[in-house]
Amino acid sequence: MMYPDADTSSREAHETAGTPLPLEGLRSAIRLVLHAGVAHASANVADGLGIDTEVRSLAAGAHVLGIRAEQLLILMKETWLSLPEARALDAAVPGGPQLSRLITLVLDEFYRVHPERAD
């Protein structure tokens, strides 16, 4: 099994153990959610991304995996910037980039799911 975004030593350790990399699953889920958000925002500019519920689920998944807020933000930002349609949306939507709104949403949902982790 290949993990294109993982560093080689980490990937080899997980392949040897026969377990998938947890971050790769989360990264795939993020990509799916962001694709849906971009499609929604492209069709409904006034509604924004429309992925609050999905981001809440991603935040809950991050908590289960022991991922900190800043790690989740990095994954979201890297994934967003890797999507040409997301970058095009940022340039086309008046009122500021959707990425800024996404970052706020991620933080809100991360700490809404587990407010005790706001340290």
pTM, rounded to two decimals: 0.71
Give the residue numbers spanning the domain of 100.
Answer: 21-117
Q: How many domains does the chain have?
A: 1
Contact indicator for 42, 89 with CB cutoff of 8 Å: yes
Does residue 89 fall inside a structural domain?
A: yes
Does residue 4 fall inside a structural domain?
A: no
Does residue 11 fall inside a structural domain?
A: no
Residue 64 has pLDDT above 80, yes or no: yes
More confident residue, 23 or 64: 64
More confident residue, 86 or 19: 86
The stretch 103-109 carries a mean pLDDT of 92
Contact indicator for 28, 80 with CB cutoff of 8 Å: no
Residue 94 has pLDDT above 70, yes or no: no
Residue 80 has pLDDT above 60, yes or no: yes
